[in-house]
Homo-oligomer: A and B are copies of this chain.
Amino acid sequence: MDAPTKPDTRGEILKTTLQLLGRRSYHSFSYNDISQILGIKKSSIHYHFPSKEILAVESVKKYYEKIEYLLNKLDNFTTDPWVKLDEFFNFFKILLERNEVCVGGILTAEVSTLPNSVTVETIKVFNRVFDYLANLLKISRDNGIMGFSGDPRSRAVMIMSSIEGALLLSRMFNNIQLFTDAIQIIIRDLCI
Contacts and interface: CB of A to CB of B under 8 A. Distances in A.
How many copies make up the complex? 2
The A interface is mostly helix, strand or loop, or mixed, namely helix
Interface in A138-157: 149-151, 154-155, 157
B24 A172 contact: no
B169 A113 contact: no
Interface in A1-58: 23-25, 27-28
In this complex, the interface size class of chain A, counting residues with CB under 8 Å from chain B, is: 35 or more
A127 to B, nearest CB: 9
A111 interface: yes
A173 interface: yes
Interface centre among A28, A119, A123, A126 (most CB of B within 10 A): A28
6 contacts: A101-B109, A111-B168, A161-B166, A163-B165, A164-B168, A192-B192
